[in-house]
Amino acid sequence: MAARIVAGFTFRSSLPDQAHAIVHPTLAPAGYAYLLVWDGQATLATCLFRDMHRWRQARDGTVEAFQRLVPGLRLHDARPFGGYGGVFASTRYMNESGRLYVGEAAGLQDAEWGFGILTAVRSGVLAATSLLDGTDYAAQARDEFDPPRAAGFVNRAVFDAMPQWLADPVLRFGRPDLPRRLHRHWAPNRVKSLLSPRVLARYRDRMHYIDAECHEASCQCLRCICGDVITGGPTSPAGESG
């Protein structure tokens, strides 16, 4: 049961470096669409947290929207990609045999937007340190990641309940000091701590995300955007299979 689907294209671009995002219920139901251009390479995608069976329509609509909004946007040699994720997965930092889990494998992903690269790196550092120094990785991971994870669920509940007419003024409110406002938005606080048990109970029926990959040491499974499992190929980061 996927909680999020990402579908889009990677392609060459002559446009200058830039980044754009769209929040729209048709182009990215309960999620967001984005266009990133860096050093002649570009990625255009939509992230769907709801109505995931509509991924193809959402992806094609996102392409059309960005072509209207970004002058000169052309998808040269575009390669489609797709992937799925489970932002509602339960956390698991260690199994019965002592194997450590980090990043998405540990259930560490921001529930609001699905971000997780920095958390994956940080959890990897903690796990490596525990192997070298004998520290308790699971305890350290719970202390560091559980509070912001709970705050992310509160943010996701607010975003799910936000009507579209309110989304634009809320996003505009963040400018021009967006980094500082986002840092405050994602940070745990007393109100979110009080609300998080009720919010987590609301999402409890979605906290049983099933990862179809085998996760053996020699695992080379991929999952296609259509939901089929493909074996025998090279391993691929989440969001880049397809």
At residue 174, the pLDDT reads: 57
Task: Please count the other Cβ atoms lying within 10 Å of the Cβ belonging to residue 54.
Answer: 16
Q: What percent of the chain has pLDDT over 90?
A: 45
pLDDT score for 105: 86
CA distance 30 to 28: 6
Residues 79-102: tens digit of each pLDDT: 999 887 767 777 889 988 899 999
pTM greater than 0.75: no
Q: Domain locations in the chain?
A: 4-85, 103-206
Homologous superfamily (CATH) of 4-85 is D-Amino Acid Oxidase, subunit A, domain 2 (3.30.9.10)
At residue 210 the predicted structure's pLDDT band, cuts being 50, 70 and 90, is low
More reliable by pLDDT, 32 or 163: 32
Cα diameter, the chain: 55
**Phi and psi angles of residue 91, each rounded to the nearest 5 degrees, phi first:** -75, 145
Please provide the average confidence, as pLDDT, over all residues in the chain: 82
pLDDT at 158 over 80: yes
Asked if omega into 176 is within 30° of 0 (cis), the reply is yes
Count the Cβ atoms, other than its own, within 10 Å of residue 146.
15
- C-alpha–C-alpha distance, residues 4 and 86, integer Å: 6
Convert the pLDDT of each residue in 50-71 to its tens digit.
888 899 999 999 999 999 999 9
pLDDT the model gives residue 225: 47
- Sign for the CA dihedral angle at 81, 56, 107, 223 comes to negative
